């Protein structure tokens, strides 16, 4: 008997909602494996994935996915098992993802930037029993990370190396072109209502949380996104951001492109020097990026050395894109800008391709679905006057009802009626588009890379010379926000560089290392005795001494 990965009770949409989403045709009972099978049957020789000299046709991607499914089943994995997948933008990302989908094994997608502290947390929280990596990538030794993970978590049964020399670990490709072993293959594939994958939340408080997405809900957002972006067989999507992230994965991203039967091109790095020649060579029609990268592309495009004329749509999201920068996209790049305001928990808003330029430039768009319910409320959860700014709450056919196995976070992040508290402060324009005004909690958005102040503070507090620490976001022209840690030292203050190294050495992603460290004697507290982050932000604004970037954003 095989056990399929069902949504836990608290994660399920209540029956009347599920019924409505099925009736409306949002949830079609389709699974990811069935989608790839259908595209492969329709056009087996179309190119599915391109990376450098590698070109896989749909039939090759499907065969590799089947071999991956077989490999994992042979290794003893069963439907419902969880596997951490930490891969860069390589074709094997897709064959591994679809292979695991086919076998009903749930991939938990970590970002390449995550390090041992985060990976071991995800693996423990997901009760994962496998870890998929690609050896060395971007100058980092993921094998060393894997060794440490296995030491910390004996439940990890295999480290599977998806590309390159597996060394002491398990190779993915022992069964090239093979089919799932009949003995191990599940009698039936996963059902569409079951968990297909898990994403990582940016995490506003404490450690990142796991986001379970079902085939039904995720595929609806993928299909509808592909329609909104008018993807079809001729579409060529360039993955420049790490495709493990929800935005380039599914909005419409690589999955949306494959859904539409198009071609996914993977860029090994997001910089214009690397990406522009690829756009020219592969006649890329669409790509997605965060605001700081869009600024770099706009700058580089002015020299006009590469033919970018195939590019139809440039999506920008993950953090606020200023209207000033947005206005330059069409004249400089000759493409339509699409602003994307989304979250791994579900809700995604898009400006539409034929919106007036003012909407495209000045707003972050409107939801995918007519059944996305949005509330804009005050601190007491009461609706604000139409057009006023307030907290955004949402519920709908592809927004989760609960995190994986985390009652405390669920109590904080969801209302009793099942609305997700996004933590974003927004207002709605008279024509129904959203404008993001800021955040209401302590999530710091560093050019699209999210970090929880609290998570980093906990690591700072572990330092013997730190008495207390509070981290806040400071506005930054390039990244939107940078992080600044205010620290009360215990005795002799350590050097800021040593504190930064301390955080890094504790096995955290580089983007979580504080950009600045400022020593203070005390923190002001609010009326209820909480440390006033507002006061700390004001102190920084008063100093207003712009510091050089401690470490640049990705790209
Ligand atoms: C995307 O997903 P996450 O989970 O990394 O981050 C979600 C948060 C949002 O709650 C919001 O605070 C911020 O990122 N955000 C934006 C934004 N897009 C995301 N803030 C202002 N303007 C925007 N356009 O970042 C994500 C997921 C799917 C599609 C696009 C982005």
Domain boundary among 163, 188, 204: 204
Where is average pLDDT lowest: 127-136, 258-267, 278-287? 127-136
- Asked if the model's pLDDT at residue 552 lies above 50, the reply is no
Q: Is residue 378 part of a domain?
A: no
**Ligand 1 binding pocket includes 341 (Cβ within 6 Å):** yes
Q: Is residue 17 part of a domain?
A: no
Q: Any residues with CB less than 8 A from the CB of 84 and at least 6 apart, and which?
A: 107, 108, 110, 119, 122, 123, 126, 128, 130, 131, 132
pLDDT value, residue 202: 80
| Ligand 1: nearest atom to the Cα of 316 | 24
* % of the chain beyond a pLDDT of 70: 94
- Residue nearest atom 14 in ligand 1 by C-alpha distance: 318
pLDDT value, residue 92: 97
| Ligand 1: nearest atom to the Cα of 450 | 5
In whole angstroms, how far apart are CA 270 and each of 91, 106, 243, 515?
16, 28, 11, 22
Domain boundary among 150, 173, 204: 204
Residue to mutate, 317, 322, 448, 481, ligand 1, most ligand atoms under 8 Å from C-beta? 317
pLDDT value, residue 407: 94
Q: Encode pLDDT of 136-191 as tens digits.
A: 778 899 999 999 999 999 999 999 999 988 999 999 976 544 454 444 455 577 89
Q: Encode pLDDT of 260-270 as tens digits.
A: 999 999 999 99
Q: What mean pLDDT value characterizes the chain?
A: 93
Q: Mean pLDDT over residues 411-432, rounded?
A: 97
Number of domains comprising the chain: 2
Of all helices (H) and strands (E), which one includes residue 296?
A: helix 291-301
**Ligand 1 binding pocket includes 433 (Cβ within 6 Å):** no
| Ligand 1: nearest atom to the Cα of 245 | 5
Q: Mean pLDDT over residues 86-101, rounded?
A: 98
Q: Is residue 525 part of a domain?
A: yes
**Ligand 1 binding pocket includes 320 (Cβ within 6 Å):** yes
Query: Which two three-digit tokens encode residue 26?
Result: 């949002």
Q: Is residue 238 part of a domain?
A: no
Q: Encode pLDDT of 333-369 as tens digits.
A: 999 999 999 999 999 999 999 999 999 999 999 999 9
How much distance in Å is there from the Cα of 350 to the middle of ligand 1?
11
Rounded CA-CA distance 333/309 in Å is: 8
Query: Which two three-digit tokens encode residue 145?
Result: 């990370």
Domain boundary among 204, 223, 243: 204
pLDDT value, residue 107: 98
Rounded CA-CA distance 121/26 in Å is: 33
Higher pLDDT, 428 or 9: 428
**Ligand 1 binding pocket includes 246 (Cβ within 6 Å):** yes
- Residue nearest atom 8 in ligand 1 by C-alpha distance: 343
* % of the chain beyond a pLDDT of 90: 85
**Ligand 1 binding pocket includes 399 (Cβ within 6 Å):** no
Smallest CA-to-CA distance from 338 within 432, 209, 427, 226 is with: 226
How much distance in Å is there from the Cα of 448 to the middle of ligand 1?
7
Residue to mutate, 294, 341, 359, ligand 1, most ligand atoms under 8 Å from C-beta? 341
Smallest CA-to-CA distance from 399 within 381, 374, 420 is with: 420
Instruction: Provide the CATH number for the domain around residue 520.
Output: 3.30.300.30
Q: Is residue 274 part of a domain?
A: no
- Asked if the model's pLDDT at residue 516 lies above 90, the reply is yes
Q: Is residue 500 part of a domain?
A: yes
CB hemisphere CA count around 244 (13 angstroms): 27
How much distance in Å is there from the Cα of 348 to the middle of ligand 1?
8
| Ligand 1: nearest atom to the Cα of 448 | 25
**Ligand 1 binding pocket includes 436 (Cβ within 6 Å):** yes
How much distance in Å is there from the Cα of 102 to the middle of ligand 1?
29
Read off the pLDDT band of 544 (50, 70, 90): low
Residue to mutate, 202, 343, 394, ligand 1, most ligand atoms under 8 Å from C-beta? 343
Query: Is the separation of the CB atoms in 518 and 484 below 8 Å?
Result: yes
Instruction: Provide the CATH number for the domain around residue 115.
Output: 3.40.50.980
Largest alpha-carbon pair distance within the chain?
70
pLDDT value, residue 182: 44
Query: Is the separation of the CB atoms in 381 and 392 below 8 Å?
Result: no
Q: Encode pLDDT of 202-216 as tens digits.
A: 866 778 899 999 999
| Ligand 1: nearest atom to the Cα of 422 | 10
Query: Which two three-digit tokens encode residue 463?
Result: 């330092």
Rounded CA-CA distance 120/228 in Å is: 37
Q: Is residue 339 part of a domain?
A: no
pLDDT value, residue 304: 76
Q: Encode pLDDT of 211-245 as tens digits.
A: 999 999 999 999 999 999 999 999 999 999 999 99
Cis amide bond preceding 473, omega within 30: no
**Ligand 1 binding pocket includes 348 (Cβ within 6 Å):** yes
**Ligand 1 binding pocket includes 199 (Cβ within 6 Å):** no
Which residues form the domain of 535?
A: 449-543
Q: What is the pTM for the complete model shown?
A: 0.94
Q: Encode pLDDT of 30-56 as tens digits.
A: 999 999 999 999 999 999 999 999 999
- Residue nearest atom 2 in ligand 1 by C-alpha distance: 343
- Residue nearest atom 7 in ligand 1 by C-alpha distance: 343
| Ligand 1: nearest atom to the Cα of 436 | 21
Looking at residue 11, the DSSP 8-state letter turns out to be: G
Rounded CA-CA distance 367/221 in Å is: 10
**Ligand 1 binding pocket includes 200 (Cβ within 6 Å):** no
How much distance in Å is there from the Cα of 206 to the middle of ligand 1?
18
pLDDT value, residue 537: 80
- Asked if the model's pLDDT at residue 2 lies above 60, the reply is no
Looking at residue 440, the DSSP 8-state letter turns out to be: S
């Amino acid at each position: 008997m095989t056990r399929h990965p069902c949504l836990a009770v608290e994660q399920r949409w209540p029956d009347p909602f599920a019924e409505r989403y099925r009736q409306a045709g949002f949830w079609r009972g389709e699974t990811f494996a069935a989608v790839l099978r259908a595209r492969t049957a329709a056009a087996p020789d179309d190119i599915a994935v391109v990376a450098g000299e590698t070109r896989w046709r749909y039939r090759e991607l499907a065969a590799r996915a089947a071999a991956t499914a077989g490999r994992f089943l042979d290794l003893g994995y069963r439907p419902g098992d969880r596997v951490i997948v930490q891969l860069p933008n390589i074709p094997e990302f897709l064959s591994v993802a679809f292979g695991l989908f086919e076998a009903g094994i749930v991939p938990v997608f970590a970002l390449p930037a995550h390090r041992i502290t985060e990976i071991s947390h995800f693996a423990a929280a997901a009760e994962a029993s496998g870890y998929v990596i690609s050896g060395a990538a971007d100058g980092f030794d993921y094998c060393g990370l894997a060794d440490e993970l296995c030491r910390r978590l004996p439940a990890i049964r295999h480290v599977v190396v998806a590309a390159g020399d597996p060394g002491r670990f398990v190779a993915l490709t022992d069964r090239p072109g093979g089919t799932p072993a009949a003995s191990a293959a599940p009698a039936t594939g996963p059902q569409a209502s079951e968990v297909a994958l898990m994403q990582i939340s940016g995490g506003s408080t404490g450690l990142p949380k796991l986001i379970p997405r079902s085939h039904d809900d995720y595929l609806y957002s993928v299909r509808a996104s592909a329609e909104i972006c008018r993807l079809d067989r001729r579409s060529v999507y360039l993955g420049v951001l790490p495709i493990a992230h929800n935005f380039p994965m599914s909005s419409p991203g690589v999955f949306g492109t494959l859904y539409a039967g198009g071609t996914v091109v993977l860029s090994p790095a997001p910089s214009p020097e690397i990406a522009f020649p690829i756009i020219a060579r592969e006649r890329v029609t669409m790509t997605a990026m965060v605001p700081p990268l869009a600024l770099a592309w706009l700058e580089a495009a002015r020299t006009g050395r590469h033919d970018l004329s195939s590019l139809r749509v440039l999506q920008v999201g993950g953090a606020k894109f200023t209207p000033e920068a947005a206005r330059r996209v069409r004249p400089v790049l000759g493409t339509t800008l699409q602003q994307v305001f989304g979250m791994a928990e579900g809700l995604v808003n898009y400006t539409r391709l034929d919106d007036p330029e003012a909407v495209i430039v000045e707003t972050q768009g409107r939801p995918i679905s007519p059944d996305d319910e949005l509330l804009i409320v005050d601190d007491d959860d009461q609706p604000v006057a139409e057009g006023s700014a307030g907290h955004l709450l949402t519920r709908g056919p592809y927004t989760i009802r609960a995190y994986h196995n985390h009652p405390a976070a669920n109590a904080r992040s969801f209302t009793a009626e099942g609305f997700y508290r996004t933590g974003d402060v927004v207002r709605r324009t008279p024509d129904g588009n959203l404008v993001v005004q800021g955040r209401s909690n302590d999530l710091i958005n560093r050019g699209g890379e999210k970090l929880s102040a609290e998570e980093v503070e906990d690591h700072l507090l572990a330092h013997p010379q730190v008495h207390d620490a509070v981290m806040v976001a400071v506005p930054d022209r390039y990244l939107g926000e940078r992080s600044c840690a205010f620290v009360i030292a215990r005795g002799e203050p350590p050097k800021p560089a040593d504190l930064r190294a301390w955080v890094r050495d504790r096995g955290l992603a580089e983007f979580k290392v504080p950009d600045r460290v400022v020593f203070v004697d005390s923190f002001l507290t609010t009326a209820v005795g909480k440390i006033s982050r507002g006061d700390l932000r004001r102190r920084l604004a008063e100093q207003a001494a712009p510091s050089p970037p401690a470490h640049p954003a990705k790209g």
